[in-house]
Amino acid sequence: GEKLAAATNLILHRTGQKEIQEGITVIVKGEGVWVYDQDGTQYLDMDSGVTRPVHAGYGREELARAAYDQMCQLAYFTPMQFANVPAIKLSEKLAQIAPGEINNFTFECDGSEAVETAMKLARHYHYYRGDKARFKIISRRGAYHGVNGIGIRALGTVMPMRQMMEPLTPGSVFIESPYCYRCPCNLKYPECEIACARDLSRIIEFEGPEYISVFIGEPIQQGFGAFKPPKEYWQIIREICDKYGILLIMDEVICGFGRTGKMFATEHFNIQPDLITMAKGITSGYVPLGAVGCTGKVLEPIDIFNHLHTYGNHPVPCAVGLENIDIIIREKLVENSAEMGKYFLEALKPLEQHPSVGEVRGTGLWLAVDFTMDKKTRAPYPVANLLNMVARAKQKGAIIKMMGMALEFAPPLIIKKEEIDLAVKVIEQCITEEEK
Ligand code: PMP
250, part of any domain: yes
Write down which residue in 305, 330, 355 finishes a domain.
Answer: 330
| DSSP reduced 3-state for 17 | helix
Ligand 1 site, residue 429, Cβ cutoff 6 A: no
Cα separation, 96 vs 274, whole angstroms: 16
210 and 340, same domain (yes or no): no
Ligand 1 site, residue 255, Cβ cutoff 6 A: no
363, part of any domain: yes
Look at residue 153 in the predicted model and tell me its pLDDT.
Answer: 76
322, part of any domain: yes
361 and 308, same domain (yes or no): no
104 and 199, same domain (yes or no): yes
Write down which residue in 330, 357, 390 finishes a domain.
Answer: 330
Q: 429: CA distance to ligand 1 center in Å? A: 31
CATH number for 307: 3.40.640.10
The model carries a pTM of 0.95
41 and 87, same domain (yes or no): no
14, part of any domain: no
Which residue's C-alpha comes closest to atom 12 of ligand 1? 111
CATH number for 364: 3.90.1150.10
Other CB atoms closer than 10 Å to residue 99's CB: what's the count? 22
Ligand 1 site, residue 254, Cβ cutoff 6 A: yes
Look at residue 1 in the predicted model and tell me its pLDDT.
Answer: 58
Q: Which residues partner with 374 through β-bridges? A: 379
299 and 158, same domain (yes or no): yes
217 and 362, same domain (yes or no): no
188 and 258, same domain (yes or no): yes
Look at residue 321 in the predicted model and tell me its pLDDT.
Answer: 98
Write down which residue in 314, 330, 346 finishes a domain.
Answer: 330
CA distances from 218 to 91, 101, 153, 204, 345 (A): 22, 19, 15, 19, 21
> How is the beta sheet containing 42-45 ordered, strand by strand?
27-31, 34-37, 42-45, 398-399
Q: Which of 144, 155, 214, 259 to mutate to test the pocket of ligand 1 (most atoms within 8 A of CB)?
A: 144
- Asked whether the beta carbons of 154 and 143 are under 8 A apart, the reply is yes
| pLDDT means over runs of 10, the chain (436 residues) | 65 59 80 95 86 92 98 95 96 97 97 96 97 96 86 72 78 94 96 97 98 98 95 97 98 98 98 98 97 98 92 97 98 98 98 98 98 97 95 95 94 98 98 97
Containing domain of residue 405, as a range? 22-51+332-435
Q: 280: CA distance to ligand 1 center in Å? A: 8
355 and 263, same domain (yes or no): no
Ligand 1 site, residue 112, Cβ cutoff 6 A: yes
Look at residue 16 in the predicted model and tell me its pLDDT.
Answer: 60
Contacts of 297 by beta carbon, 8 Å cutoff, 6+ apart? 101, 274
Largest CA distance in the chain: 65
Of 273, 306, 307, 298, the C-alpha closest to 131 is 298
> How is the beta sheet containing 406-409 ordered, strand by strand?
357-363, 366-371, 406-409, 401-403
Look at residue 11 in the predicted model and tell me its pLDDT.
Answer: 67
Q: 343: CA distance to ligand 1 center in Å? A: 27
Cα separation, 67 vs 287, whole angstroms: 9
Of 165, 161, 166, 150, the C-alpha closest to 115 is 150
342 and 217, same domain (yes or no): no
Please give the ipTM for the structure prediction: 0.99
Which residue's C-alpha comes closest to atom 7 of ligand 1? 146
CA distances from 304 to 190, 212, 284, 297, 435 (A): 45, 22, 32, 15, 59
293 and 159, same domain (yes or no): yes
Q: 146: CA distance to ligand 1 center in Å? A: 5
Query: What would the pLDDT profile of 184-237 be if each residue is shown by its tens digit?
Result: 999 999 999 999 999 999 999 999 999 999 999 999 999 999 999 999 999 999
Q: 272: CA distance to ligand 1 center in Å? A: 21
255 and 388, same domain (yes or no): no
Ligand 1 site, residue 152, Cβ cutoff 6 A: no
Look at residue 282 in the predicted model and tell me its pLDDT.
Answer: 98
Query: What would the pLDDT profile of 322-348 be if each residue is shown by its tens digit?
Result: 999 999 999 999 999 999 999 999 999
Q: 210: CA distance to ligand 1 center in Å? A: 28
Q: Count structural domains, the chain.
A: 2
Query: What would the pLDDT profile of 237-260 be if each residue is shown by its tens digit?
Result: 999 999 999 999 999 999 999 999
Ligand 1 site, residue 146, Cβ cutoff 6 A: yes
Look at residue 145 in the predicted model and tell me its pLDDT.
Answer: 93
Other CB atoms closer than 10 Å to residue 347's CB: what's the count? 19
Cα atoms in the 13 Å half-sphere on the side-chain side of 66 = 23
Ligand 1 site, residue 111, Cβ cutoff 6 A: yes
Ligand 1 site, residue 115, Cβ cutoff 6 A: yes
Which residue's C-alpha comes closest to atom 15 of ligand 1? 111
309 and 341, same domain (yes or no): no
Q: 229: CA distance to ligand 1 center in Å? A: 19
